[in-house]
Amino acid sequence: KNEVEQSPQNLTAQEGEFITINCSYSVGISALHWLQQHPGGGIVSLFMLSSGKKKHGRLIATINIQEKHSSLHITASHPRDSAVYICAVPEETSGSRLTFGEGTQLTVNP
């Protein structure tokens, strides 16, 4: 079964700072998910990636398949980016059931 580790667990930043959240997993995967969950609970799918890098606005996600590691970056962070960020990977190499990281609580102060 895939083991997922996210770091850091909690992150506090000042508005404008560059943010990096890391995710490591143990078993080779077909795609990795980055999710955002706001205090009200709503989940937003940010990225699904299987290789390289994806960018959407101020968010950038990268993945290194060989090292089994992904990073989520937020440029020019803003208080509205405050949320829990969760990475999720398939339980096994070819499965669709997901294993979730513990999440990273990000707080961006004005």
Contact residues: other proteins, CB under 8 A: 31, 33, 35, 40-45, 48, 86, 96-98, 100-103
Closest approach, Cβ 14 to other proteins, in A, equals: 25
C-beta closer to other proteins: residue 4 or 13 = 4
C-beta closer to other proteins: residue 89 or 108 = 89
Q: How many CB atoms lie within 10 A of CB 11?
A: 19
Please tell me the distance from the alpha carbon of residue 17 to that of residue 76, in angstroms, as a whole number: 5
C-beta closer to other proteins: residue 14 or 45 = 45
Closest approach, Cβ 46 to other proteins, in A, equals: 10
Closest approach, Cβ 90 to other proteins, in A, equals: 9
Q: What is the 3-state secondary structure (H, E, C) of 18-41?
A: CEEEEEEECCCCCCEEEEEECCCC
Structure tokens at 53: 């890098």
Please tell me the distance from the alpha carbon of residue 25 to that of residue 27, in angstroms, as a whole number: 6
